[in-house]
Amino acid sequence: MFGFKKKQNRQPSASSVHDDEKRKEGVIHEENISSSTGYDRDIFVPPTDKELRRLMWKIDLRIIPFIAVLYLCSFLDRVNIGNAKVAGLVEDTNMTEDEYNWGLSIFFIGYIIFEVPSNLALKWMGPKIWITTIMLIWGTIMAAMSCVKTGGGLMAARFFLGAAESGLYPGVLFYLSKWYTRRQQALRIALFFSSSTLAGAFGGVLAYGIVHMDGIRGLHGWQWIFIIEAIPTLVFGLLTYFVLPDYPDRTPFLNEREREIIVRRLVEDAGPATETHFSWNQVIKAFLDWKVYIYAILFVCGSICVYSLAMFMPSLIRGMGYSDLSAQLFSAVPYAIGFVTTVSTGYSTDKLGERGFHLAIPGFIAAVGYILLICLKDSGSTALFISACLTAAFAFSTNSPLASWFSNNFGGETKRNVAIATVLTIGNSGGAISGHIYRADDAPHYLRGHKICLSLMVFHSVLAIVMKGLLYLENRRRDKLTPEQHRIACEGEELCDKHPDFRYIL
């Protein structure tokens, strides 16, 4: 049975049994690849390195710049309210500071409520149709925000803006997992997310120019900010239907050979976690997985710091002693630096195949920035501005290793989809909190907000190291399973990432 000759009349060793089981699993896995891809493994010719590089470059050029622009529109539309405030939104509408802060926070309430349903809708409708739909909706809402007259109107508009935007970020993370292997995703996510830093830089410069339109056609500068910055969202929303490819197994963007290469690589990368069908069992498993909640806590800590900086950066810089117009312009600089650090971190994350330390180290550096903002409050605007640049640059660069980490470590298509959306749903509650971190009565130095963010960033970095250690111990436990333990662990259906052959990326 195990390949030994009968005349030897001896029992097979445990290691031989385990090796034989592995060989059998290899055959089964190859059969799974064949059935999952719909291609015949016997006639498949693996791509050469040159062919694979050419194919990945083709895919990268088609997908990554476009989704980066989509997220630039998304992030610009959610944080341009900070520029609108400096341009006179609060004074012209006679809203209170509390109403304004709730206007910031309520965006994330809509975002949180609709995040999981949006990802399920994405799986049902496909990325091309779903992303087109939500972008047209939120672009329309953004333009309509120019008609806001009261704090209540602002809160209503921001709630529905959050509901519409909730489908993009988690949807793109899931979408990228359908095109790239786990070790290819961090750099692509970094390039995608780095557009948010460009949005901050571009938004500050753009707002600086738009504010000079104050009075044209009887509209205030902040109204023109909402109108003009809605136009790219509407244009690219329409283009999405024609430009963004659907999933690789059915897109006409690739030929038959290219589709086969991509689909097989993804199935092989998934290992035993090859479940692609919709399953309520996987939905339940996603909600019961402890990793979801550790990643969510990490995301909460990071999002509070990132969003509070993004929405209050012009106000923070104005508090350093700069004029309103200068604050709009100078708010672009921290984001420009953040773009470089975000892409560099993503590249290193993929190159080294590591996640935890790439999350913790930028977090500790951002914490140093917060310490400088607190300690140098009386040292002049230049020292404070440099500290803000350091803080923002490294706070932003924590996103790509975290996003790729949790999207890498859930197996099974439905479970991964729901897990990603759940992490982001809980995590974006930090965005709702972020609107109350920097209060007007803390101006001009905002020390209370800096101290809160400092504590969160230190906790965030320590927890990242703890999470890395826990996943290391689980991988090591699976490596040490005896053949009998391995056999028992393989029993059951839809094991996803709980399969003993699945290894977590650290």
Output Rg (C-alpha) for the chain, integer angstroms: 25
Half-sphere exposure of 90 (CA within 13 A, CB side): 16
Q: Across all residues in the chain, what is the average pLDDT?
A: 86
- pLDDT tens profile 422-462: 998 898 888 889 888 998 889 899 999 999 999 999 999 99
Distance CA 4, CA 471 (A): 38
- pLDDT tens profile 237-259: 999 999 999 889 888 999 999 99
Whether residue 33 is predicted with pLDDT greater than 80 in this model: the reply is no
- pLDDT tens profile 280-315: 888 898 999 999 999 999 999 999 999 899 888 888
Across the range 326-347, mean pLDDT stands at: 88
Contact 423/358 with Cβ under 8 angstroms? no
Does the global pTM surpass 0.95? no
Q: Which residue has the tokens 């935007």?
A: 165
Residue of 232 and 8 predicted with greater confidence: 232
Q: What is the pLDDT, as a whole number, of residue 235?
A: 97
Burial of 379 (0-12, 13-18, 19+ CB in 10 A): exposed
Cβ-based neighbours of 51, under 8 Å, separated by 6 or more: 261
Across the range 132-156, mean pLDDT stands at: 95
Q: What is the pLDDT, as a whole number, of residue 275?
A: 55
Distance CA 145, CA 289 (A): 39
Asked whether the bond before 252 is cis by omega within 30 degrees of 0, the reply is no
- pLDDT tens profile 459-502: 999 999 999 999 999 999 999 999 999 888 888 778 888 889 88
**Residue/partner pairs of 95-98 with CB below 8 Å, 24 or more apart:** 95/150, 95/151, 95/154, 96/151, 97/439, 97/440
Q: What is the pLDDT, as a whole number, of residue 383?
A: 94
Per-residue pLDDT band for 276 (boundaries 50, 70, 90) equals low
Whether residue 16 is predicted with pLDDT greater than 90 in this model: the reply is no
Whether residue 202 is predicted with pLDDT greater than 80 in this model: the reply is no
Contact 416/361 with Cβ under 8 angstroms? no
Q: What does the DSSP 8-state code read for residue 11?
A: P
Distance CA 328, CA 203 (A): 9
Q: What is the pLDDT, as a whole number, of residue 18?
A: 43
The 3-state DSSP class for residue 25 equals: helix
Distance CA 162, CA 164 (A): 5
Cβ-based neighbours of 206, under 8 Å, separated by 6 or more: 225, 228, 229
Burial of 430 (0-12, 13-18, 19+ CB in 10 A): buried
Across the range 276-281, mean pLDDT stands at: 73
Q: Categorise residue 278: left if φ over 0, alpha if ψ from -120 to 50, beta otherwise.
A: beta
Token pair listed for 31: 């059969």
Percent of all residues in the chain with a pLDDT value above 90, rounded to a whole number = 51
The 3-state DSSP class for residue 112 equals: helix
Across the range 189-205, mean pLDDT stands at: 82
> In whole angstroms, how far apart are CA 297 and each of 248, 399, 424?
33, 13, 10
Across the range 163-190, mean pLDDT stands at: 89
Cβ-based neighbours of 436, under 8 Å, separated by 6 or more: 101, 105
Cβ-based neighbours of 264, under 8 Å, separated by 6 or more: 33, 37, 39, 44
Distance CA 252, CA 267 (A): 20
The 3-state DSSP class for residue 395 equals: helix
